[in-house]
Every structure is written in C-alpha cells, then in structure tokens.
Structure 1
Amino acid sequence: MHSATHSVLLIILIFRGTNGDSVNQTEGPVTVSEGALMTLNCTYQTADFAAYLFWYIQHLNKAPQLLLKGLTADKKVEHEGFEATLVKRDSSFHLQKKAVQASDSAVYYCALSDTVREGCGGAEHKPRVQMGLWLWAALQGVVVSLSSMLC
C-alpha cells in the first residue's frame, strides 16, 4: 500500500499602512504537514483603543470570507476547527488549527479595523483596513506563484 505524504507551504507578504497602524505576520515560507498543528501569527500596532481583528479565508477562485473576528479581549473565538484569541496586552490575534487538512489550503488574511459611531448610534466599519497576506497552498505537484501585488 502506497502512503502519500502531504505538506502545506505558507508564503507571507506583509502590507503596511501609512497611518501608523500595521499588521505583522510571521515571515516564511513555513511548511506544515497534513494533520499537524498550524499557527499563523498575527500581531498589530494601533493607537486606537477600539481596534478589532479579523481572519479571512479565500479558497482558490473564490471571494474572501470572514473566518474569525476578535472583538473582545482575551476571549477565544472558534469556527470550523480554527481558533484565535485577541490578546490586547500582546497586540496579537494568532490563528490556530489543531490538525490541518489539504482542504484548508487557501489564502489567509489577518486584518485590523476599527469602528466609529454614527449620529444615530449605529456602528459602521471605517474603510481603512490593514492586512497581512498568507498564501497557504498544499503542495501536490503544483507550483503556486503570485504574479501581482494587492492594492
């Protein structure tokens, strides 16, 4: 019986804003074996006390989807086996999954945003978002390359 070994490659690009806010992620590439623990580090800097952190996932040829959002300090959030805790004292929101699978191959974004109150008391997201980009691609004989920068 033939046993195939699969691994996952993490490629990181970091985009910084000019307003003093930033999101930083572990530099790579990093290889993770299928079934292993995966951690994607995300730290941030902001002068805003009410900053919120988000993880987005984007599968090949699909639109990005919200995976997790950190709105409350020191509260773990979970979804589909992924988890993260917004630790404001460390300015971190690290994404973890206990056992990665080939189906987890996607682009992962850590984003920083804040909210403002409108006159009627509703909250709206400011358009300013700082993002770091993770390309997480299962290596199965296919080379994945980035040919353009995100704006």
Structure 2
Amino acid sequence: MDGQMTLPEGAALTINCTYSATGYPITFWYVQYPGEGPQVLLKAMKDNEKGTNKESEATYHKESKSFHLEKASVQDSDSAVYYCALSD
C-alpha cells in the first residue's frame, strides 16, 4: 500500500513489501521520524529469516518475494515514514 495510513492507537499494523528482484537480495525496512534522517529498522538476508526490532517484525519470504512489516500495537510515537528497500 502506498500513501498515508491513519490508525487508532493500539491497532495492528501491516505494511506490505513485495519485489521482483532475482536471487537472494538483502531486505530492509527503514523508518524516518519527523525532522530526522532515515534509519534501519529491520534487515533480513535469507529465506524465512525474521527481522525484529522492539515491537516490529518482518519475515523474508523468497518464494512470494515479500518482506511485510508487522506491528501488533501501534503508538503515537510510531508516526513516521516507512521504506522497504533491497540490496544485492
């Protein structure tokens, strides 16, 4: 999903990330809080590897070419721009 999301505090969050690269790219989620530069939130390098950071997680699935970001309960402090990125 592209664009802005508005969720009530305590709601679950999923941001989808799919890609078309071949091989085994390194997958990242970056977060950029207001007034700050982007910073790495999660990283995964192999199939079925789960990246975790605080209450956020994402599992790299090579077959479906996905690395969806999930958070069980969002807070106001999670308000930011989130980027999915790949590196070979």
Shorter-chain TM band: over 0.9
* TM-score for the superposition, normalised by structure 2: 0.92
* Structure 2 CA distance for aligned equivalents of residues 66 and 110 of structure 1: 10
Q: TM-score, normalised by structure 1?
A: 0.55
Please tell me whether Structure 1 or Structure 2 has the larger radius of gyration of its CA atoms. Answer: 1
Return the structure number with greater relative CO, CA threshold 8 A, min gap 6.
2
2:67 counterpart residue number: 93
Of Structure 1 and Structure 2, the greater strand share is in 1
CA RMSD of aligned residues (A): 1.2
Query: Which ranges of structure 2 fall in alignment gaps of 5 or more residues?
Result: none
Cα distance in 1 for partners of 2:47, 2:68 equals: 13
Identity %: 49
Inter-partner Cα distance in structure 2 for 1:73 and 1:90:
10
The letter for the 2-side match of 1:46 is A
In the alignment of these two chains, the number of paired residues is 88
| 1:55 pairs with 2:19 | no
Match of 1:103, SS?
helix
Structure 1 unaligned spans of 5+: 1-25, 115-151
Q: Which runs of 4+ in 1 moved over 2 A?
A: 27-31
1:46 CA drift (Å): 0.9
